[in-house]
Structure 1
Amino acid sequence: MSNRYPTPVTPTRTRIGWIGIGVMGGAMASRLISAGYALTVYSRTASNAAPLLSLGAKLAASPSDLAASTDVIFTMIGHPSDVRNLVLDKLLPSLAPNTVIIDHTSSHPALARQIYHSALKKNCYSIDAPVSGGDIGAKEGKLAIFAGGDAEVVNWLKPLFDVLGKTNYMGSAGKGQSCKIANQIAVGCNLVGLSEGLVFAEKAGLDKEKFMEAVRGGAAGSMAMELFGKRMIGRDFRPGGFAEYMVKDLGMGVDEVVVLPGAALSKQLFSGMVANGDGKLGTQGLITVIEKMNGIGG
């Protein structure tokens, strides 16, 4: 890597491409622009790119045009099928040698490995780097980044990752995605517990704000509580990550040959959110499912 990339990543030399400018992707891309990097973005709905264009980003006409004019491409989209279609069918055929693709999508480890090997055949590189920290972490540059792929490439990309959060190198291709799945299993179970704790507190006649303040410093405290507790109490279900994506992520975990009863239950409850028409709410909306099971709310 160092022989092929003799110059470091810098705002003046490194051309960045970005595909996927939703709640998370848009915030992450804007941080790179603020750090001085020149970004070219692609969006199927061009109007969605307006906030980034106002900050100085350029708009590509197609993924292939973006691929042909950038050195490092970030993707942050929806499902593994979207990643497969975009990266394997549209980006890879148009890449110049030594281009790096960084996929922040929560996707499947096997697909990450396939993309890695397909990129190598083009003398390019692929890093699977899903993130955790929600919309707040994305805006504040405090995401946990789980990186899989060549360690040398991840190290070369550190100036970019440092703008977005803290990089955790997990190992070979696909290991970043495996770490994200494990992360989502822990988060999903945390959200179930937090939801049930708040519903019990309400049923017991406790002030929910006082309950959360009392327990947050003890063993019940968690990052899930810090990120989502007040939102649950305030009925703020705006998405940092969609509930329907949690179903996807947990599904990739429970489909493995390992017994995960907590993850299976979490997936079932998040699937209940989707069945209720709430799949586009934030994951903190899980409390609505527990409430409905207890006759609270509509």
Structure 2
Amino acid sequence: METPYPIPISPSKTRVGWIGIGVMGAAMATRLLAAGYSLTIYARSPSKALDLQSKGASLVNSPSELAHTCDVVFTMVGNPSDVRQNVLEKNGLLQGLNPGGVIVDTTSSHPALAREISAAARAKGCWAVDAPVSGGDIGARDGKLSIFGGGDAEVVKWLSPLFEALGKVTYVGEAGCGQSCKIANQITLVGNMIGVSEGLVFAERAGLDVKQFVEAVRDGAGGSMAMELFGGRMVKRDFRPGGYAEYMVKDLAMCVDVVEEGEDVERIAVLPGAALAMQLFSAMVANGDGKIGSQGIISVIQRLNGK
């Protein structure tokens, strides 16, 4: 198939738009500005855009206006409902997107919604790619995110110069596959995070220096990227969010939803670890900790142990 534009992506020619300037989105948008791309943003709260504007970004009044002035528009918002509102509803991106335009959703969203958006985009002569990310705020800031690309393979390849400013993209399949890969990533991640949390709690109860424990095991079989990203923060009780705990509940809930919507027996999976993790992260939210970082899961394990 033909790529969206005959001209390759480049900072001098490609107009990039961005919606969603929270912890992750702002860091990712900053990476594109630093790479030389002209960036236009839409923000529901314009005051939150001041930092990016000071770095050269322009601000518009609606998603449809943003789409009309850009070749490629990224979204990094909170929930699938936010994705739907910004893309499909009145004054959304698809209302203003020019033929050949591309939407890149980096939100952790639902595979079925990604497929719906892709179909709606193609009906307009446009493209949509679901490209959720992993790596947290550190990965976003350092341009070392893992990006899971779902959609048309040629479009994902065409977008590679933009992805390279953010991290490393892996093409994982047709529309919706990027989101399914992210859900699988979250299932894997929470298992590791709970393991790190329980290891730290046990080490402390056993009288070990927990900092020394992390150093001792990080290069062995018990080490993991979860420990690298979150172990030190857990030890220091640094629960500043790279991703909110309540978003982890959202991601794990989608895992359950995807499993239940499977039409074939082969697609149905029993995921006891994910179910337990959802209970523990839901306990964080119930404790009033939904807005702290997901590494705060250790607080639930500590509460269970009387701390």
Instruction: Give the TM interval when normalised to the shorter protein.
Output: over 0.9
SS in 1 for 2:16: strand
SS in 2 for 1:126: strand
SS in 2 for 1:18: strand
Residues 1:237 and 2:236 are matched in the alignment: no
What is the rounded CA distance, in whole Å, between the counterparts of 1:187 and 1:18 in structure 2? 27
Aligned to 2:158: 156
Residues 1:58 and 2:58 are matched in the alignment: yes
What is the rounded CA distance, in whole Å, between the counterparts of 1:7 and 1:95 in structure 2? 18
Aligned to 1:134: 136
Q: Tell me how far 1:4 sits from its aligned partner.
A: 4.8
Q: Tell me how far 1:280 sits from its aligned partner.
A: 0.6
What is the rounded CA distance, in whole Å, between the counterparts of 1:104 and 1:169 in structure 2? 14
- What is the 5 A alignment of 1:194-233? 194-233=196-235
Query: Residue by residue, what CA displacement relative to the aligned partner does 1:209-247 show, whole Å, maximum 9, x if unpaired?
Result: 011111111111000000000000011000001100000
Consecutive unaligned residues in structure 2, runs of 5 or more: 260-267
Residues 1:277 and 2:288 are matched in the alignment: yes
Moved over 6 A (4+): none
- What is the 5 A alignment of 1:247-266? 247-255=249-257, 256=259, 257-266=268-277
What is the rounded CA distance, in whole Å, between the counterparts of 2:151 and 2:4 in structure 1? 17
Aligned to 2:298: 287
What is the rounded CA distance, in whole Å, between the counterparts of 2:192 and 2:171 in structure 1? 24
Aligned to 2:264: none
What is the rounded CA distance, in whole Å, between the counterparts of 2:247 and 2:83 in structure 1? 14
Q: Tell me how far 1:254 sits from its aligned partner.
A: 2.3
What is the rounded CA distance, in whole Å, between the counterparts of 2:165 and 2:97 in structure 1? 25
Aligned to 1:85: 85
Aligned to 1:168: 170
SS in 2 for 1:56: coil
SS in 2 for 1:238: coil
SS in 1 for 2:292: coil
Q: How many residues align?
A: 296
SS in 2 for 1:16: strand
Aligned to 1:19: 19
**Distance change (3 Å), C-alpha of 1:170 and 1:214:** same
SS in 1 for 2:88: helix
What is the rounded CA distance, in whole Å, between the counterparts of 2:22 and 2:134 in structure 1? 15
Percent identity reads 66
Q: Which amino acid aligns with 1:230?
A: G
Q: Tell me how far 1:65 sits from its aligned partner.
A: 1.0
Moved more, 5-14 or 252-261: 252-261
Residues 1:30 and 2:41 are matched in the alignment: no
What is the rounded CA distance, in whole Å, between the counterparts of 1:57 and 1:191 in structure 2? 36
Q: Tell me how far 1:3 sits from its aligned partner.
A: 5.9
Structure 2 residue aligned with 1:115, among 117, 124, 138? Answer: 117
Q: Which amino acid aligns with 1:219?
A: A
Q: Which amino acid aligns with 2:285?
A: V
Aligned to 2:262: none
Q: Tell me how far 1:166 sits from its aligned partner.
A: 0.3
SS in 2 for 1:41: strand
TM-score (norm 1): 0.98
Q: Tell me how far 1:2 sits from its aligned partner.
A: 3.5
Query: Residue by residue, what CA displacement relative to the aligned partner does 1:5-57 show, whole Å, maximum 9, x if unpaired?
Result: 21100011100000000000000000100100000001111010011000000
Consecutive unaligned residues in structure 1, runs of 5 or more: none
